[in-house]
Amino acid sequence: MRQVIYLDSVDSTNSRLKQIAGTVPNGTAVIADLQTAGRGRLGRNWLSRPGDGAWFSVLVKDERLTPENAGGLVFCCALAAADVLKEISGREILIKWPNDLVLNGKKLCGILCESGYNGGRLDWAVCGIGINLNAESFPPDLPYAASLRMETGIVSDCRKVALDTLDKFDTYAQMLYNQGLNSLIDLISPISATLGREVRAVNGEKELTGVAERLLPDGSLLIATADGPVSVRAGEVSVRGLYGYI
């Protein structure tokens, strides 16, 4: 039985779960109605208003978690959320490498996985998922953001979506541990919003452009550039379509 902590408001579900990671069991989840300081990847803010979406995080302390497979947890989250949203909407939900879900070219979901070490050993990971479900609008400075309601007209039960996604996350995590990251890549590649597209990868002031060719066994993205193939890792770059969000 999963331990679930429900909160009316929190700065960030990831931050709260990291604070208690040493005292709660594997699989513990924090679900909040409101995040006052929700965060996305690369330090970006995440708009998390009550009733607008599912804002939650899950703790991973499985003994099979290693530095080699921990990077696969973001793919477990993405596949889990994509499954749930497809079941609700009947629409094919695409995965924008490495951590966004998109529908009709708009972002529905973002994922942030963080790790903690103890004595040089990977001790735990916390995976945060934010799914835009019921919002009716977004600020002008978020032109690529959308909710499932905006794209399909469907209103969802936010907590149910969170719990259903957590259950599917467990299934994909077992695949990761037992079959390796390639088993997840095989599922992601056909529903990728990134592969086969022209993309721009930005790391600080450095930038490269090319065609996203495939995901490598370690989860990195291989980009065919004018100067030859380059692999980029999820934690180091921001990848966006050359002519838009995807």
Q: Are residues 182 and 144 in the same domain?
A: yes
User: Does the residue 125 lie in any domain?
Assistant: yes
Mean pLDDT computed over 94-101: 95
Q: Are residues 102 and 217 in the same domain?
A: no
Q: What are phi and psi of 105, to 5 degrees?
A: 75, 10
User: Does the residue 117 lie in any domain?
Assistant: yes
Q: Are residues 179 and 81 in the same domain?
A: yes
CB 163 within 8 Å of CB 206:
no
Mean pLDDT taken over the chain: 92
Domains: count for the chain: 2
ω into 98 cis (within 30 of 0): yes
Residue 43 confidence (pLDDT): 52
Query: What region does 204 belong to: left with phi over 0, alpha with psi -120 to 50, or beta?
Result: left
User: Does the residue 246 lie in any domain?
Assistant: no
- Residue 75 belongs to a domain with what CATH number? 3.30.930.10
Cα 114 to Cα 128: distance, rounded to the nearest angstrom? 8
Q: Are residues 109 and 225 in the same domain?
A: no
Q: Which among 70, 93, 63, 66 has a CA at the least distance from the CA of 80?
A: 93
Q: Are residues 210 and 151 in the same domain?
A: no
Q: Are residues 154 and 229 in the same domain?
A: no
Q: Are residues 116 and 237 in the same domain?
A: no
Direct distance between the N- and C-terminal alpha carbons of the chain, in angstroms, rounded to an integer: 38
In which domain, by residue range, is 212 found?
Answer: 198-241
User: Does the residue 15 lie in any domain?
Assistant: yes
- Residue 229 belongs to a domain with what CATH number? 2.30.30.100
User: Does the residue 13 lie in any domain?
Assistant: yes
Q: Hey, which bits of 165-237 come out as E strands?
A: 198-203, 206-215, 221-225, 228-232
Q: Are residues 233 and 185 in the same domain?
A: no
In tens, the pLDDT along 126-176 reads 999 999 999 999 989 888 999 999 999 999 999 999 999 999 999 999 999
Q: Are residues 161 and 231 in the same domain?
A: no
Q: Are residues 211 and 139 in the same domain?
A: no
Q: Are residues 37 and 95 in the same domain?
A: yes
Q: Are residues 100 and 170 in the same domain?
A: yes
In tens, the pLDDT along 67-95 reads 999 999 999 999 999 999 999 999 999 99
- pTM metric for this prediction: 0.94
Q: 191, 214, 229: which is the final residue of a domain?
A: 191
User: Does the residue 183 lie in any domain?
Assistant: yes
